[in-house]
Chains A and B, each alone.
Chain A
Amino acid sequence: MYSIFKKEINLFFSSLIGYIAIGVFLVLTGMVMWVFPQSNVLDYGYATMDGFFRAAPYILMILIPAITMRSFAEERQTGTIELLVTRPLSDLSIIMGKYLACLLLVVIAVLPTLVYYYTIRTLGDPAGNIDAGGVAGSYIGLLLLAGAFVAIGLFASAITQNQIVAFVLAVLLSLTLYEAFGELSKLPIFFAKSDDIVDKIGIGYHYTSISKGKIDSRDVIYFLSIIAAFVAMTKVALGARKW
C-alpha cells in the first residue's frame, strides 16, 4: 500500500496536477473570502469563516474529481492495471494507497487556508473574536467531506477507462449526494417527518450540522459509512474483471 501511495504522490508533484489543484483551490477560496463583493468578509463585517466553508464544498466538488479521475481510468486505459493487480498485494491495498494519496493532496491544498483563520482572528474587533470551536468543527467537516468526495471520485474512475467520463460522473454523484437530497426534501410531497429522512440521506445536512461546531457521532458515522460504501464499490468495480 505504501509503495502505491508513494507512487501516486510522486506523480502528483512531478507533474502539474498537484500544483494546479492546490493553486486553483487557494485562488478560488481566497477570492470568495476576500474579494468577491457578495461574499467577502471585509464588507460583511462579521468575523466568521462561514463564506469559506459554504463555498469550499462546491470547489472541492469540481477539484477532487479532477484529481481522482485518472487514478484507475488511466491504468485501465494503458493496461498497467493488469501489472498492478497481479502483484502480491490485495485490491483493497491498491485502492487505499490511491485513496490516501488523493486525500493527502486535498489536505495539502486546504492547510494554507488556516492563514485565513489567523487573519480574521487578528482583524476581529476585539482581536480573537471568532468562534474557534465552530471553525475547528467546520474543518473536521470539510475533511470528512473531502474524504467522501475522494471515495466517490475513485469509484467513478474505477468503472470506466475514460477519464472524462470518470470526471463528469464523479461531479454528478458528488453534487447529487451533497445538494439534491436537501432540495428534494423541500418538495411538498412528503408527509409527517419523511422529508427529514430524505434530507438526512444527503451529505449537505451532515456537513452543515458538523459546521456548527457540534461534532455529533451520527454525522461522523454517516461520513465514514459513505466513504466505506464507495471504497467497497470501487473494490467491486476493480474485481469485475473476474466476472
Chain B
Amino acid sequence: MSVKVNSLTKKYGAQHAVDDVSFEARSGEVLGFLGPNGAGKTTTMKILTCFIPQTEGTATVCGYDTAEEPMKVRERIGYLPEHNPLYKDMYVREYLTFVAGLHKLPNKKNRIADMIEMTGLGREQKKQIGALSKGYRQRVGLAQAMLHDPEVLILDEPTSGLDPNQLVDIRALIKEIGKTKTVIFSTHIMQEVQAICDRVLIINRGKLVANDSIDILRQRASGKTTITVQFLEKIGMAQLRNIPDATHIEALSDNQWKITTTKTHDIRPKIFKFAVENGLTLIEMRQDVQSVEDVFQTLTRRET
C-alpha cells in the first residue's frame, strides 16, 4: 500500500475537520476525492503532505509515517496545493530548476526537459510564470509536483478553472500518470471522477461516507433501477401492474411510462414478454443510469 490512512482525525477547537477517516491506495490507482466544500478534503491532503499534523490517527506514505518521518514522506510525494501557488516573477525553467535544487536531483537538465515535454509546456517554457494563462500555470504546477518522480501524487483540485480542452488534456495526463503511480486528487466535478478514477472516496463533514468503485457506488446509493418504456398503443395503468417485479409505475403520457424496480436483476426481458403477450408494440425501452452526481447528492445530503 503506498498510502495508508488509519482513523485520521483533525480537530480545530471543537470542530472536527476530519473525523475518523480510513482508506488505502495502491500504486497504479487513481483515487478520486469527492465532497462538498469544507468537507475535509484539503485538510486530509495537507496532513498527507506533512503540512499540518493530525490530532489523532496515523497516515503512512510508502511505509513512512507522516508524523515520524516527514522528510522521507516529502521525498516521495508530489503535491499540487489548492489554487496552485507559484512564484509569478520567476521563469518556467528557472522555477523548475529551483524545485529540482530543493530535491537535490541529479541530472536536472534532462529531467526538466522531460517534464516540459510531458506536460506540454514546450511553447511557453521561456515565459515568466505570471504571463502564462491559467491552463499553462496548472501545467507548471503539475510539472513541479512530478519533477522528482514521486511515488504518490496529491493534487488538490487540479482542474478547477480550466477550459474544456485543457480539462481533457490534464485529465489524460493524470490518467497516464496513474498507471504507474498513486494519484489522489480532489474535485467537485463528477464527470471527472467517472472519467479518470478507479475508486472514489466521498467525504462529508469530515466523515468518509463512501469508498468504492464507481459501479458499486451507483448501485449502493440508489438500490433501484428505473426504466422508461413507450408503447405504440394507449394502455392503462391496471394492465401494466401485471409486469412481474415492477414496484412502482408512473405515467409520463398516455403511452409512455416510467417503471421502477427494487430488484437487482434486469427486468427488461419481463417487460418485453409482457408486451408480446398483450399484443403491444414496444417502441422504446430505456434504462436510466443513475449518474455519480445523483449518488454524490444522496450520500452527502443524507447526513445533514
Is A82 in contact with chain B by the CB < 8 A criterion? Answer: yes
A3, B98: Cβ atoms under 8 Å?
A: yes
Question: Is A187 engaged at the interface, CB distance under 8 Å to the other chain?
Answer: no
Q: Given A88-B71, A242-B52, A80–B89 Cβ distance below 8 Å?
A: no
CA A37 to CA B237, docked complex, whole Å: 107
Which residue of the partner chain, among B52, B53, B71, B98, contacts A7 with CB atoms under 8 Å?
B98
Is A11 in contact with chain B by the CB < 8 A criterion? Answer: yes
The secondary-structure label for the interface of chain A is helix
Instruction: Tell me which residues from 72 to 98 in chain B have a Cβ below 8 Å from any Cβ of chain A.
Output: 72, 74-75, 77, 79, 81, 83, 85-90, 94, 98
Residues of A within 8 A of B79 (CB): 83, 86
- B51 within 8 Å of A by Cβ? yes
Asked whether B51 lies within 8 Å of A86 as measured between CB atoms, the reply is: yes
Whether B144 lies near A83 (C-beta < 8 A) is yes
B289 within 8 A of A: no
Interface size on A, residues (CB 8 A): 23
Q: Does A218 belong to the interface (CB within 8 Å)?
A: no
Question: Are A87 and B51 interface neighbours, CB within 8 A?
Answer: no
B101 closest partner in A (C-beta): A3
Bound CA span A79–B51, Å: 12
- B49's partner among A15, A86, A242 (CB-CB below 8 A) is A86
Q: Which residue in chain A gives the minimum CB-CB distance to B80?
A: A83
Number of interface residues of B (CB under 8 A): 27
Q: What's the Cα separation between A40 and B251 when bound, in Å?
A: 100
Total cross-chain contacts (CB, 8 A):
56
Can you name the residue of chain A whose Cβ is closest to the Cβ of B98?
Answer: A7
Q: How far is the CA of A85 from the CA of B83 in the complex (A)?
A: 16
- Mask, A84-108, CB within 8 Å of B = 1, is 1111111000000000000000000
Shortest distance from the beta carbon of B92 to any chain A beta carbon, whole Å:
14
Confirm or deny: A186 has a beta carbon within 8 angstroms of a beta carbon on chain B.
no
CA distance A6 to B74 in the complex (A): 22
Is A217 an interface residue when CB atoms closer than 8 A count as contact? no
A38 part of interface (Cβ distance < 8 Å): no
Chain B: minimal CB distance from A19 (Å): 15
8 nearest CB pairs, A to B: A3-B101, A79-B85, A88-B74, A80-B85, A88-B75, A86-B49, A87-B102, A82-B81
Extra contacts, 16 of them, besides A6-B101, A15-B89, A78-B88 (Cβ < 8 A), are: A2-B101, A10-B94, A11-B90, A14-B89, A78-B85, A79-B85, A82-B46, A82-B51, A82-B85, A86-B79, A87-B102, A88-B72, A88-B103, A89-B102, A242-B52, A242-B53
